[in-house]
Amino acid sequence: MNNFVIADPDKCIGCRTCEVACVMAHGEHPLEQLTEENFLPRLRLVRTAKISMPIQCRQCEDAPCAQSCPEQAILQNGHSVQVTAGKCIGCKSCLLACPYGAIDLVVRPSSTGAKLNTVEALKCDLCLERTGGPACIQVCPTKALYQVEGSQMAGRLQQKRRKAAMGVVKVSGN
Amino acid sequence: MAHRVLTVCPYCGSGCQIYLTVENGSILGAEPGPGRTNESELCLKGYYGWDFLKNTKRLTARLTKPLLRYKRTDDFQEVSWEEAIGFAAEKLQAIKQKYGPEAIMATGSARGPGNEANYIMQKFVRAVLGSNNIDHCARVCHGSSVAGLAATLGNGAMSNSIPEIEDTKCVFIFGYNAADSHPIVARRILKAKEKGAKIIVTDPRFTEQARVADLWLPIKNGTNMALVNAFGHVLLAERLYKPEYVEQFTEGFETYQKVVARYTPEYAETITGIPAQDIRKAARMYANAPSATILWGMGVTQFGQAVDVVKGLSSLALLTGNFGRPHVGVGPVRGQNNVQGACDHGALPNMFPGYQPVADKAVRKKFAAAWGVKSLPEKPGYHLTEVPHLVKEGKLKAYYIFGEDPVQSDPDAAAVREALNAMELVIVQDIFMNKTALHADVIFPATSWGEHEGVYSAADRGFQKFNKAIEPQGDVKPDWEIISLLATALGYPMKYACSEEIWEELRRLCPIYEGVTYQRLEELGSIQWPCPSLDHPGTPYLYEGNKFDTPSGKGLLFAAEFRPPKEAPDSQYPFVLCTVREIGHYSVRTMTGNCAALQVLADEPGFIQINPADLQQLGIQDQELVWVSSRRGKVIARALSTERVNTGAVYMTYHWWIGACNELTIDHLDPISRTPEYKYCAVQVEKIIDQAAAEQYVQTEYSKLKKKMFCS
């Protein structure tokens, strides 16, 4: 199974440090040059009446974004789903397909004039290129963010089943 | 080659250690350092709040030359230090001669300058000017905690340490949103929860802190005293308190009992709106925990009845024996990086450094001898929040404002501006141009955090050495050096080679800091006062053996009758305005407003948080611009629809210069601490039909403001 990053809403304090860390990990701009235009985090804090947590790509096994992409710009790569830069044509199918709202399209006017615009589909890439792993996890002051390893999923489930069994024992008094 | 400099974060009072990566004299990034309080974690501002040092001019420009104008109607001119200091000295001398030393007021600075600079400022005021007229922004913040706890426990600081919070079994949080104001403290609270602690949060808003609580007490704005009394009532009525502890270590029980007697949870419910059974539940949760910690913030201290509530909260800890050991106690968590330090070092009108009272003859004699003056003034100085009134009464003529921006931070901004304009001399010493500096005669540019070294005090009494990472740009000087030049020009030669020389002078005059040296701080990382000798390890928690620092050695139990806030809403101003804060911005925003990431996350004109039901009644959409007005002023702000706030109340964060909530707030003060009631005044919210014009207005105002701040 794929790896993915997820937040524990019981630990998230809604501070958005993760958003800035994501921008800094992927951008080429030094901190002092961040602007609204180049601030493009791949996870976004959501705040409702009761919940605060960042939402990002779940690295779906049968990813609807990849399914919907006419250019095969989104592909399974190792233990995650990755966007191939340069292949995206900006058709927005992935935006419509993703049930999490975890993929976004950045459209920039082209500087060369040869093309109309340059486009880039942005989503969590698990900071594959980064030493130290996902930047969001590293900076989260309350350790609300963590990476779930697909390879450990079976073990996690087994643990949960054991816990459930013990719960039944307690309830029945045996 | 890049290198790392270990220093201390310049923002809240958590006292986090930071490594700054520096290359070719420029900062590249910040990483967490292995501090006692932060243990290699940082928050949003810690990671991304240092680029103001690059003079980004996003809100205001760094001051790089002394500025002077001989007439207030003139523009500022860049002048030499000699001319600026000479001008200030001559004017101060003349005012002192004409009106007496008490006509001059000065501030300490709770921010970047450090403890040494505050020590020098109060020395200047007391030994050179000859009054105790020094105060600082603790007055508008935890002044009520300092006064309240000094009376009940004998010491105004946090009784226990930030790291201890995670091993307490109950955290009772009152009017404090650690998640926004101190994320690194919030982290400890969450860790406590993970380890099984119960978390109780009292707040009218469903804050991020309330969200992670086991029990949220949604209190009606301005009714704290009634709840605290009811808490005490339950502790007594249900025998949840510790009679032997009370007998042995406290006093005032009989009077306390009489006052809280009528505050049954049912009666408190009628005032606070909190269901009686929840008050009982919370009191039981707190009292039955084997160890419990009370933490509070501005939601306690910024009311006309604040000192009483602080005393009431400390009484709950006394009744339940939650003192004198680890993981218990009371924590007024200080909001600015060195507000504890400015208090510690005598930037208060009634205290010499080390909390030695000016009223004490022997203390005055000691300081007079050390400073080489015949005598030092006995009369306590003025409070910061009384300045506008004192100016009106003709009592104050000059104001030396050091690392503060009262036009932005103090209540009723119009009254503050009027007071500054009426003064004969206004001196501003800062790192940035600010709103207050617009009213100055002379401006002294100082070095910033990152450009000088010294010692800060974290909220939990922890001294830490902060270090210089880069060379300052422009013709700027460290704060203590500027004040020393002015003292010398006034005929009191003051000369120090470095900040350590100042530290050495002050620690020898302050028994509770005597064992703290630069060398020891570098070896140990942090030392918590009291630290009376060079072999003393410092004091993580106060009141060992339950011996309090009061004259009798006992803790004082105290309760007072509930007093409602001053300005109740009415038909003309139907909403309660409560000022709060923003996670990514800090204080008057001169620093964070110039940080790129923090500006991108939140910018002018700032939000007014309002319940969707109220918005609907007003016919206002989420994110629309609105006018907010009170009897004192009117500002524009952006409506933020959120069910997390109660109906009938609106909340504005106090960092915005356009949506400046302190144009609206009232200068109603607590009678003891003189802390303003920022958390309660009546306002009106009005719909704006032409949103496009309103958006344009905000942009125009922002541009005008930046121009005034030398950004164009």
**CB contact at 8 A, B509 and B354:** yes
- Angstrom distances, CA of residue B114 to CA of A118, B14, B52, B234, B476: 49, 15, 18, 44, 16
- Strands B681-687 and B462-466, by their bridges, are unpaired
One domain for residues A90 and A101: yes
Cα–Cα distances in angstroms (integers) from residue B439 to residues B339, B389, B425, B684, in the given order: 25, 17, 10, 29
Q: How far is A78 from chain B (nearest CA, A)?
A: 30
Helix ranges (H only) for B124-196 are 143-152, 178-181, 183-194
- Which chain A positions have a beta carbon within 8 Å of B600's beta carbon? 34-36, 39
Test B642 with A49 for CB contact under 8 angstroms.
yes
pLDDT at A112: 73
Contact B596 A35 (CB under 8 A): yes
Domain boundary among A123, A139, A165: A123
Query: What's the gap in Å between the CA of B282 and the closest CA on chain A?
Result: 21
Q: Are B295 and B328 in contact (CB under 8 A)?
A: no
| A143 closest CA partner among A134, A152, A131, A151 | A134
**Structural tokens at position B77:** 């001119």
For residue B83, what are its two tokens? 């001319």
| Type of residue numbered B105 | M
Distance from CA of A174 to the nearest CA of B (A): 27
Q: How far apart are the first and last CA of chain B?
A: 34
Residues in chain B: 712
Tokens of B543: 């009141």
- Beta-ladder partners of B445: B430
What's the rounded Cα separation, in Å, for the pair B678 and B687? Answer: 24
> For B44, which of A17, A23, A47 is closest by C-beta distance?
A17
DSSP class of B34: -
B21 vs A contacts (CB less than 8 Å) = none
> Contact B286/B200 with Cβ under 8 angstroms?
yes
Report phi then psi at B352, rounded to 5.
-75, 170
Q: In angstroms, what separates the C-alpha of B96 from chain A's closest C-alpha? A: 45
A14–B208 C-beta distance less than 8 A: yes
> Sign (positive/negative) of CA torsion B502, B507, B513, B516?
positive
Indicate whether A52 and A129 sit together in one domain: yes
Residue B555 · residue B622 · CB < 8 Å:
no
Q: Which residues, at least 6 apart from B289, have a Cβ–Cβ distance to it below 8 Å?
A: B168, B169, B170, B197, B198
Cβ separation B183–A14 shorter than 8 A? no
Rg of chain B, C-alpha, whole Å: 24
User: Is residue A78 located within the same domain as residue A115?
Assistant: yes
Predicted confidence (pLDDT) per residue in A43-74, tens digit: 999 999 999 999 999 999 999 999 999 999 99
Segments of chain B scoring below 70 in pLDDT? none
Residue numbers in B near A143 (CB within 8 A): 187
Query: Does one domain contain both A69 and A148?
Result: no
Residue A153 in tokens: 């999923």
DSSP-assigned letter for residue B127: I
Instruction: Give the pLDDT score at A1.
Output: 94
* Contact (CB, 8 A) for B345 and B119: yes
Q: Does residue A92 sit in the same domain as residue A132?
A: no
| Angle of the B224-237 helix axis to the B265-272 helix axis, nearest 10 | 170
Q: Where are the beta strands (DSSP E) in A28-149?
A: 44-47, 52-55, 74-77, 80-83, 104-109, 117-122, 145-148
Q: How far apart are CA B623 and CA B108, in angstroms?
A: 38
Cα–Cα distance for residue pair B20/B22, rounded to 1 Å = 6
When divided into structural domains, chain A yields a total of 2
B694 contacts B636 by C-beta, under 8 angstroms: yes
User: Tokens for A71?
Assistant: 């250019």
> Do A100 and A119 belong together in one domain?
yes
Using CA atoms in the order B487, B493, B496, B502, what is the torsion angle rounded to 10 degrees? -70
Residues A156 and A134 in one domain: yes
Q: Which domains does chain B have, with CATH numbers?
A: 3-54 (2.20.25.90), 67-136+337-528 (3.40.50.740), 143-333 (3.40.228.10), 575-708 (2.40.40.20)
Place of tokens 């008050």: B279
Helix or strand holding residue B505 (H, E) = helix B499-509
Q: What angle separates helix B499-509 from helix B115-123, to the nearest 10 degrees?
A: 70
Interchain contact, A34 vs B596, CB within 8 Å: yes
Torsion of CA B623, B627, B633, B635, to 10 degrees: 40
Query: How many angstroms separate the CA atoms of B382 and B107, rounded?
Result: 11
The complex scores an ipTM of 0.95
Task: DSSP letter for A118, please.
Answer: E
CA distance A143 to chain B (A): 8
- Interface probe, candidates A10, A11, A12, A13, chain B, greatest B C-beta count within 10 A: A13
Q: How far is CA B592 from CA B43, B56, B290, B597, B601, in A?
A: 13, 11, 41, 9, 11
Q: Is the pLDDT of residue A40 over 60?
A: yes
Residues of chain A with C-beta less than 8 angstroms from the C-beta of B190:
11, 142
pLDDT digits (tens, 9 = 90+) for B588-639: 999 999 999 999 999 999 999 999 999 999 999 999 999 999 999 999 999 9
b/e per residue, B175-186, with b = 16+ CB within 10 A?
A: bbbbbbbbbbbb
A93 and A109, same domain (yes or no)? yes
The DSSP result for A21-59, as a single string, is HHHHHH-SS-GGG--TTT---SSEEEE-SS-EEEE----
CA atoms lying within 13 Å on the CB side of residue A2 = 21
Query: What is the predicted pLDDT for the residue at A118?
Result: 86
pLDDT higher than 90, residue A173: no
Q: B486 near B89, Cβ under 8 Å?
A: yes
Quick: pLDDT tens for A68-118: 999 999 999 999 999 998 899 999 999 999 999 999 999 988 877 677 888
The answer to whether the CB of B11 falls within 8 A of the CB of B586 is yes
CATH at A109? 3.30.70.20
Print the domain residue range for A34: 1-56+125-174
Let me know: does A5 contact A125? Beta carbons within 8 Å: no
d(CA B627, CA B684): 8
CATH number at residue A11: 3.30.70
Q: Are residues A69 and A111 in the same domain?
A: yes
B208 CB neighbours in chain A (<8 A) are 13-14, 52
User: What is the SS3 string spanning B424-475?
Assistant: CEEEEEECECCCHHHHCCEEEEECCECCECEEEECCCCEEEEECCCCCCCCC
Residue B580 is encoded by which pair of tokens? 């709060």
Q: Are residues A43 and A84 in the same domain?
A: no
Q: How far apart are CA A115 and CA B169, in angstroms?
A: 63
CB < 8 Å from B in window 14-33 of A: 14-17, 19-21, 23-24, 30-33
Distance CA B20, CA B279 (A): 46
Binned at pLDDT 50, 70 and 90, residue A174 comes out as very low
Question: Both A88 and A6 in a single domain?
Answer: no
Q: Identify whether residues A65 and A50 lie together within a single domain.
A: no
| pLDDT of the residue at B312 | 98
Q: Which amino acid would we find at residue A156?
A: R
